[in-house]
């Protein structure tokens, strides 16, 4: 019985985590910008590039968290070091800027 309870608990936590963070489909981004819910991605990319001049963006995505939209960017700098940068998509505030280990 304890095993069954543990499995249900794990499943519930996984489901809750999935609801708290969801990838925003690309086709919804222009409307979010138009509604003023997020800054244009070009503007957010400029914030990232100021942190790491000369770097190349290798991946990016917009997530809808329970407390707002977060723009997540992966990039590689001129020395080949990979970085993870997360921004508040509504105001461009840097939430995370760390080397990808």
CATH number at residue 30: 3.10.450.40
Element (H, E) at 88: strand 82-88
Q: What is the pLDDT of residue 101?
A: 77
* 12 in a structural domain: no
Residue 9 lies in a domain: no
- In this predicted structure, what is the pLDDT of residue 67? 85
DSSP reduced 3-state for 101: coil
Domain count across the chain: 1
Contact 58, 76 (CB under 8 A): yes
What is the average per-residue pLDDT within 12-39?
74
Residue range of the domain that includes 60: 22-99
Entry pTM: 0.76
6 in a structural domain: no
8, part of any domain: no
Query: In this predicted structure, what is the pLDDT of residue 8?
Result: 41
Evaluate whether residue 11 is within a structural domain: no
């Amino acid at each position: 019985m304890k095993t069954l309870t543990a499995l249900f608990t794990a499943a519930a936590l996984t489901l809750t985590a999935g609801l708290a963070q969801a990838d925003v489909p690309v086709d919804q981004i222009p409307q979010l910008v138009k509604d003023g819910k997020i800054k244009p991605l070009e503007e957010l990319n400029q914030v990232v590039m100021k942190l790491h001049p000369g770097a190349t963006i290798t991946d990016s995505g917009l997530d809808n968290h329970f407390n707002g939209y977060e723009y997540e960017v992966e990039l590689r700098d001129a020395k080949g070091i990979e970085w993870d940068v997360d921004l508040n998509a509504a105001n461009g505030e840097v939430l995370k800027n760390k080397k990808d280990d």
